[in-house]
Structures are given as structure tokens and as C-alpha cells.
């Protein structure tokens, strides 16, 4: 037969282990809130449904569990968009100060609810850098939300913007966005795994705050596309510093 196209090898047809475990993870993450909601529906269909205080308590749990599923779907979409976009060239220019203000604004509501204060400081003139505004806003919102969620009660989260010619962490001209929080800190051995999909230091704590385990994976993808970087430092009992570097071209 005529043809130059090689039949697909069975090996290349097999999903990579990474993809298989990703699908398994996603299924698991969806199944647990779904099982909970399903269970409460069954319970409410019985006599418990006639008890107003039980009804309210179960509805509140169902509310929280559906919110978790919504967060998961929206983070999955963001992650897949970030992966698709990674191959595309970036052409826009960023007003980093404005984006930081918008990210603070967007996080203000959950910060207030948790009695946390967000403080933005611009420590030097900030030049325009090339980037995707929506992407970088999302990076900052993800980081700020984490700081709000994992920091000590009533604490302050600092956001500092500064321009550098070069630093040991990023040896070329850049704008650094530093986010500092006060918390129990992150153990040294976990730091390098935080940007893995679904990696969480404390699973139940993450779930409790509506976390998906995807926030930092999205951050990593976006920064890779921008040829930037994120450096995470943490001190047990003190808190963490997340340094985002965006190159100045
Ligand atoms: P999640 O949705 O669980 O917050 P992320 O990918 O955003 O997922 O973060 C992964 C994990 O890293 C979190 O579950 C948490 O254990 C840890 N983490 C992230 N940000 C912070 C922070 N500011 N302080 C302490 N731990 C953090």
C-alpha cells in the first residue's frame, strides 16, 4: 500500500504515567465532595429533612463542598489555558503597579473576612515589562489568596514591588514582586514540591479553605511562559516569602 505515514506506535498511544495519575487525582478530588453532597441529599430526604437546625447544618456543608468543586473546575480550566498559552508568544506590556493594586482589590474580601491586612509598597520606580496582564494578575491573586488562607490570624501580608539590575536569585534586570506572610511556615523538604499539581503540605487544611492544590502549579506555568521565576523561602514559626521575578527586556 502507498503511504508514508507510519502507523502510530502502541507506545505513543499510551497516555504518559503523568497524565494517568493526573486523571486519577482529578477523579479523586471530584469524587469526595460529590460523595459528601450525595450523602447529605439522601439524609435530607429522610426525617432529618424536617429538622430545621439539621437541615441548615447539612445545607451549609453542601454549600462548602459544591464551592470546592467549583474552585476545582475553575482551576483546572486555568491550568489547561496556561498550558496552551505556554507555547504562544507574549506581546502585551504590563503595568505591574496597577496589576498589583487590582490583585489586592480582588483578594480584599477574603482578607477582611479572615481579619487579615494587605499592605502594598512600591519601593522603586517600576518600568513596564512584557507580559499578559490577566495571567500576571492571576499569579498575584493565587499567591495572595494562599497567604490569606495559610497565615496567622489577624496578621498582615506585605506586597512589595521593586526593580533590580540583577540578584543572586535572578541574575538579569527584573521587576520583583515579593509577597510576605506570617505563618507556621513551610517545612524545607516540601518547598520544592509546592508547584506540583495537587501537592499540599496539609491536605485537610487546604481542603478546609477551599484549596484545590493547583494554585501554585498555575503560577509556575504562567511564569515559565514569561521567562520569569518564583523563589519560595520559608522559616518555621515565622512565615514565608514568595518572590516573583519578571524579566525587563
Ligand atoms: P491549595 O489550593 O492547596 O492552596 P496551592 O497549589 O496554591 O494549592 O498550594 C499548595 C500547597 O502549598 C498548599 O496546600 C499549602 O500546603 C502550601 N502553601 C501555599 N502557599 C502557602 C503559604 N503562603 N503559607 C503556607 N503554606 C502555603
Q: Is the CB of 215 under 6 A from ligand 1?
A: yes
Q: Whose CA is nearest to atom 24 of ligand 1?
A: 150
Query: How far away, in angstroms, is 42 Cα from ligand 1 center?
Result: 33
Locate the ligand 1 atom nearest the alpha carbon of residue 214 and give its number: 6
Whether 90 lines ligand 1, by a CB cut-off of 6 Å, is no
**What is the Å distance from ligand 1's center to 203 Cα?**
10
Rg (CA), the chain: 21
Q: What cell does 157 get? A: 501580608
What's the gap in Å between 146 CA and the centre of ligand 1?
6
Edge-to-edge strands of the sheet including 229-235? 117-122, 156-164, 174-182, 239-247, 229-235
Instruction: Specify the residue with its C-alpha closest to ligand 1, atom 14.
Output: 200
- pLDDT, one tens digit per residue, over 214-243 is 999 999 999 999 999 999 999 999 999 999
Does the beta carbon of 238 sit less than 6 angstroms from any atom of ligand 1?
no
If you measure from the C-alpha of residue 200 to the centroid of ligand 1, how many angstroms do you get, rounded to a whole number?
Answer: 6
Please say whether the beta carbons of 129 and 246 come within 8 A: yes
pLDDT in tens, 177-214: 999 999 999 999 999 999 999 999 999 999 888 899 99
Contact status, residue 180 vs residue 239, Cβ threshold 8 Å: yes
Q: Is the CB of 154 under 6 A from ligand 1?
A: no
State the distance from the centre of ligand 1 to the C-alpha of 213, rounded, in angstroms. 7
Does ligand 1 come within 6 angstroms of the Cβ of 214? yes
Helix (H, G, I), strand (E, B) or coil at 248: coil
pLDDT digits (tens, 9 = 90+) for 56-112: 999 999 999 999 999 999 999 999 998 888 888 898 999 999 999 999 999 999 999
The model's pTM: 0.90
Model confidence at 2, pLDDT cuts 50, 70, 90, reads low
Instruction: Report d(CA 131, CA 117) in Å as an integer.
Output: 28
Amino acid at each position: 500500500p502507498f503511504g508514508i505515514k507510519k502507523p502510530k506506535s502502541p507506545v505513543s498511544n499510551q497516555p504518559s504515567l503523568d497524565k494517568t495519575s493526573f486523571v486519577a487525582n482529578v477523579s479523586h478530588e471530584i469524587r469526595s465532595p460529590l460523595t459528601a453532597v450525595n450523602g447529605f441529599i439522601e439524609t435530607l430526604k429522610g426525617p432529618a429533612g424536617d429538622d430545621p437546625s439539621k437541615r441548615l447544618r447539612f445545607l451549609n456543608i453542601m454549600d462548602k463542598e459544591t464551592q470546592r468543586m467549583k474552585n476545582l473546575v475553575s482551576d483546572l480550566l486555568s491550568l489547561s489555558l496556561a498550558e496552551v498559552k505556554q507555547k504562544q508568544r507574549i506581546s502585551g506590556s504590563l503595568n505591574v503597579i496597577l496589576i498589583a493594586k487590582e490583585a489586592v482589590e480582588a483578594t480584599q474580601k477574603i482578607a477582611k473576612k479572615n481579619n487579615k491586612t494587605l499592605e502594598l509598597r512600591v519601593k522603586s520606580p517600576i518600568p513596564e515589562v512584557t507580559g499578559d496582564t490577566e495571567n500576571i494578575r492571576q499569579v498575584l491573586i493565587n499567591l495572595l489568596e494562599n497567604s490569606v488562607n495559610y497565615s496567622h490570624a489577624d496578621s498582615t501580608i506585605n506586597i512589595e514591588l521593586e526593580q533590580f539590575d540583577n540578584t543572586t536569585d535572578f541574575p538579569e534586570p527584573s521587576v520583583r514582586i515579593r509577597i510576605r506572610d506570617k505563618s507556621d511556615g513551610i517545612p524545607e523538604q516540601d518547598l520544592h514540591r509546592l508547584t506540583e499539581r495537587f501537592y499540599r503540605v496539609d491536605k485537610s487544611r487546604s481542603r478546609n479553605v477551599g484549596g484545590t492544590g493547583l494554585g501554585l502549579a498555575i503560577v509556575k506555568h504562567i511564569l515559565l511562559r514569561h521567562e520569569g521565576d518564583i523563589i519560595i523561602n520559608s522559616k518555621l514559626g515565622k512565615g514565608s516569602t514568595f518572590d516573583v521575578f519578571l524579566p525587563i527586556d
